[in-house]
Chain A
């Protein structure tokens, strides 16, 4: 009984490893042509800075615009 379990389990591990080996081969082949970390990082940074103005949590919305912030109290003159 335990023999068949081992074989089934091992087949699954073999399949998993084959999948991983396939992925790793593709990765290795494409590593040379990959954009460098500095380029990818620069892109992330550019996205952040471009969208910074539209980010309410970043720029801090005023009470009138943000529905969750309490309204300023009106006072009679």
Chain B
């Protein structure tokens, strides 16, 4: 769609003489349509005659895609013999769980949107809608650092593996890295380094195995790998047809892949070196808000606005379990596994946390405490506790 705006500026030079300057500005906007990537590229002078053969190619490819998909389903149906919970029937059931809020971290002035644990198992970084990023000591609940971002809605934050820096971003379309100093009086904002640049909001970020590289996902439909020192784009990942909302890196033993989930209901697994999408799963019925790898790296779980969590096995290349109940109608905002992968924790928009038995597919426990929707949930690196952040401005540590 093209919108033409005519601006007329009248300039009075002297008392009797009026000079009219008419400035005609033609502004082109590219609107977002369903199932199309929205990257702002300048219009190329294409001839209208190219449309006809392209239409044919499009139709041909669509039919080919559909036939391939239906053939795949047929073949898969032949192989599909049993579900995960059937295999796990003989496994002992889990007993009652007593998990309570052990710490409440108060200090944010608005909704907590994201949090991450430090590898030292006690520090936490959290970010909120009011633009503040706070580093906490979870044992003592003291605040160690606080940074004010120049934008609101800081939707992503991550702790560096070394524990010496944090990365965060949101509506500013950037991911910035702040080195943490031991000197509490030092102004952290002065040392800020802008690393990633996207054309839409930053939805998630994560350091790779070192402090030197960051993986980001954005509302512009792409994920990208950046070098922290130079700010250079190392690899970009195209394939989602809408906003990418979450990502998770494979556990280090299994190599250079990561999974991303988006508003197009797809979860894609990517090869970090080639930038190719190596696997794709589309069984959710709504936006995928969170993805998390199973501790062995052979599977991953996803949480979606359709109120279900699902487990996808990478080697079987299909969904192997659904975690849902008729009584749960609110979307899942974030998921994480316990250390052994037996428990799946899900933070829901109905203010609760549901704990699922991964193997049997049943709900083990439901936790209450937050006074607004749970927006983020992470298990600590040593598995002794998990932390949740919520729109009620607090974070809670559960154990």
Contacts and interface: CB of A to CB of B under 8 A. Distances in A.
A57 B359 contact: no
A54 B382 CA distance: 9
Contacts of B316: 34-37, 39-41
Given A4-B46, A21-B64, A55 B339 contact: yes
Contacts of A18: 61
A44 B359 contact: yes
Contact of A47 (B64, B139, B296): B296
Given A7-B54, A44-B296, A55-B383, A16 B239 contact: yes
A74 interface: no
Interface in A4-43: 4-14, 16-21, 23-25, 27-28, 31-32, 34-43
A17 B61 contact: yes
A77 B156 CA distance: 52
Contacts of B54: 7, 10-11, 14
B342 to A, nearest CB: 5
Contacts of A47: 294-296, 298, 340-341
A37 to B, nearest CB: 5
A3 to B, nearest CB: 5
A34 B62 CA distance: 26
B254 interface: no
B325 interface: no
A56 B103 CA distance: 17
Interface in B354-368: 358-359
Given A36-B81, A44-B294, A70 B313 contact: no
Interface bracket on B: 35 or more
Main secondary structure of the interface of A (DSSP, over half): helix
A44 to B, nearest CB: 6
B36 A9 contact: yes
B15 interface: no
B338 interface: yes
Contacts of A51: 295, 339-341
Contacts of B5: none
Contacts of B61: 14, 17-18, 21
B122 interface: yes
A5 B237 CA distance: 23
Given A45-B87, A67-B122, A34 B342 contact: no
Nearest to A69: B399
Interface stretch (B37-45, B126-134, B208-216): B37-45
B23 interface: no
A37 B313 contact: yes
Contacts of A12: 36-37
A1 B2 contact: yes
Given A16-B239, A31-B72, A41-B313, A54 B339 contact: yes
A48 B359 contact: yes
B151 interface: no
A14 B2 CA distance: 23
A52 B54 CA distance: 56
B343 A7 contact: no
15 contacts: A8-B44, A13-B35, A13-B58, A28-B72, A31-B75, A34-B317, A36-B81, A41-B82, A41-B313, A43-B296, A48-B340, A52-B340, A55-B339, A57-B339, A61-B384
Given A48-B341, A54-B340, A61-B399, 12 more contacts: A4-B44, A10-B54, A35-B315, A36-B79, A38-B81, A40-B320, A41-B320, A44-B296, A66-B385, A68-B138, A69-B102, A69-B399
